[in-house]
Amino acid sequence: TPTAPTPAPQTPAAPHVEAARAPSGPVSRPGELPNGPAATKAMADAGITAAQVGAGSGKDGRVTKGDVLAFLSKPAAAPAAPAAKAPARALETGEERVKMTRLRQTIARRLKEAQNTAAMLTTFNEVDMGAVMALRNEYKDVFEKRHGVKLGFMSFFVKACVAALKEYPAVNAEIEGDEIIYKHFVHMGIAVGGPSGLVVPVLRNADTLGFAQIEKSIGDFGKRARDGALKLEELTGGSFTITNGGIYGSLMSTPILNPPQSGILGMHKIQERPMVVGGKIEARPMMYLALSYDHRIVDGKEAVSFLVRVKEAIEDPRRLMLDV
């Protein structure tokens, strides 16, 4: 089953989806003052208007981001002209019909948009987690005591991806019209489970953060995702995404891109497998990695090399400390 993250409360579902670019001017209802830029962008991302949201809770009746989120979380109203739709299938005993929320509808639309737009391809590799596990076991107690947060595996993968993205910048770029936008920063999307599905909060400037800052931010994202307290602006603007299906037991999957991003890394469960090490068979803690990428901008050689670079950094985490 593909693992796909999702971005704004309009999107990351089973992986993912980042918000589209907002229109240049604010959207307002007749006779009212323009809404703020955050609310305007949120409505543009979700494909809705201020008239649909209704009376705003902001000053002078302006629509706020909170109003947009509240609107998206409600089940969509029945269509005005149901006769225009194809007749609904009669339900059998034991079935029930539940209207999709606007958020889930947006997620579905964005995921399909990713498949229809990008030339999506996935390359696989596997990584021996032994070195990272040993390093983590050695320093986890002192790390938690000093920084007040547990040392997990995700920070190692964020660091490894940052190093690989610097070496292969096309994986961190995006296509806009007939131009490629290269980014000299890494805004790392981290797919986390929320009450309404998978969302992808963005770890901004991840290339400037240390292990403790990364772990604290990811822990905070996870908690607030469960509480439904993530902010709209935290779910947009990512340049690359990591999704970890391993926490649910996934052994291998093909992540779906989070448009307009050009790459997403899928992590999976750690499982002991027989591997040949120094001519002898050993049981090693192995993890399959999957990199889905947009072949319009990322060549196969770049994608494979990127994934190998991540593998090398995880199998010898000292490389991350020395930036080699």
Q: Which fold would CATH assign to domain 108-322?
A: Chloramphenicol Acetyltransferase (3.30.559)
Distance CA 266, CA 220 (A): 21
Report residue 221: phi and psi, to 5°. -60, -45
CB 32 within 8 A of CB 60: yes
pLDDT at 168: 97
Q: What is the pLDDT of residue 18?
A: 39
pLDDT at 244: 94
Average pLDDT for runs of 10 along the chain of length 324: 46 39 43 69 75 77 79 61 66 90 79 89 97 96 96 96 97 95 97 82 96 96 89 91 93 93 97 96 98 97 98 94 77
- The C-alpha angle 239, 188, 155, rounded to 5 degrees, equals 155
Residue with tokens 């050689």: 301
Kindly report the backbone phi and psi dihedral angles of residue 249, in degrees, each rounded to the nearest multiple of 5, phi listed first: 100, 5
Q: Report the C-alpha gap between 195 and 259 in whole angstroms.
A: 22
Distance CA 306, CA 301 (A): 8
pLDDT recorded at residue 14? 39
Q: Comparing C-alpha atoms, which of 269, 203, 154 is closest to residue 7?
A: 203
3-state secondary structure of 89: coil
CA distance 170 to 301: 11
pLDDT of residue 75: 58
Alpha-carbon gap, residue 241 to 208, rounded angstroms: 17
pTM strictly above 0.85 = no
Q: Please name the residue that has the structure tokens 């983590």.
A: 136
Matching residue, tokens 């269509």: 79
pLDDT of residue 101: 79
What span, in angstroms and rounded, lies between the C-alpha atoms of 221 and 181?
Answer: 27
What is the set of active-site residues? 295, 299
Alpha helices in the chain (DSSP H): 37-46, 50-53, 65-73, 102-117, 130-147, 154-167, 211-227, 300-315, 318-322
Vertex 140 angle, CA 135 and 141, to 5°: 140
Beta carbons of 63 and 41 less than 8 angstroms apart: no
Assess contact for 237 and 223: CB atoms under 8 A.
no
SS3 190: strand
What pLDDT was estimated at residue 76? Answer: 58
Q: Residue 306: what pLDDT?
A: 98
Give dist(CA 303, CA 121) in Å, integer: 10
Count the Cβ atoms, other than its own, within 10 Å of residue 139: 13
Per-residue pLDDT at 322 = 80
Cite the DSSP H helix spans in 47-175. 50-53, 65-73, 102-117, 130-147, 154-167
